[in-house]
A and B are shown apart, each in its own frame.
Chain A
Amino acid sequence: MPVKTPFLLEEATEMEVSPVLQWAAFGIFAFISIAGALGMATTMSMFRSGIFLMASFIGVAGLFILLLADLLALLQIMMYIGGMLVMILFMLLFSGDPGGGMMSTHMRLRGPEWFFSLGLARSPSGTDGNNANDSSDKEEDQRDQARDSHQEEGEKEESNDMSMFTPAKRGAAGLALGIGVLLIALLLWRPHWAVVAQMPDPDSPRRIGHLLMDKYMIAFEGAGLLILLGIFGAVLLQRPGKYPDSAHREELRAAVEDAPAPVKTDPLKPLGLDRDREK
Chain B
Amino acid sequence: MIAIPLTAFLLVAAVLFAIGLYAVIAQRTAVMVLMGIELLLNATGLNLVAFWRFTAPQDYSGQIFVIIIVTIGAIEMAIGLAIMMLLYRRHQTVQVDKYKELKG
Contacts and interface: CB of A to CB of B under 8 A. Distances in A.
User: Is there a direct interface between A and B, measured as CB atoms under 8 Å apart in the complex?
Assistant: yes
Interface of A: 14-15, 19, 22-23, 26, 30, 33-34, 37-38, 40-41, 46, 49-50, 53, 56-57, 60, 63-64, 66-69, 71-72, 75-76, 79-80, 83, 87, 90-91, 94-95, 156-157, 159, 163-169, 171-173, 175-177, 179-180, 183-184, 187-188, 191, 193-201, 204, 207-208, 211-212, 215-216, 219, 223, 226-227, 230-231, 233-234, 237-238, 242-243, 245-246
A74 to B, nearest CB: 11
Which secondary structure dominates where chain B touches chain A?
A: helix
Interface in B53-76: 53-58, 60-61, 63-64, 66-68, 70-75
A66 B60 CA distance: 16
6 closest A-B pairs by beta carbon, nearest first, are A180-B18, A19-B3, A172-B25, A176-B22, A183-B14, A200-B57
A56 B39 contact: yes
B52 to A, nearest CB: 7
B74 A79 contact: yes
Nearest to B15: A34
B89 A245 contact: yes
Interface of B: 1-12, 14-23, 25-29, 31-32, 34-36, 38-39, 42, 45-46, 49-50, 52-58, 60-61, 63-64, 66-68, 70-75, 77-79, 81-86, 88-90, 92-97
Contacts of B97: 166-167
A200 B58 contact: yes
Contact of B16 (A56, A165, A196): A56
Contact of A238 (B45, B75, B85): B85
A256 B60 CA distance: 53
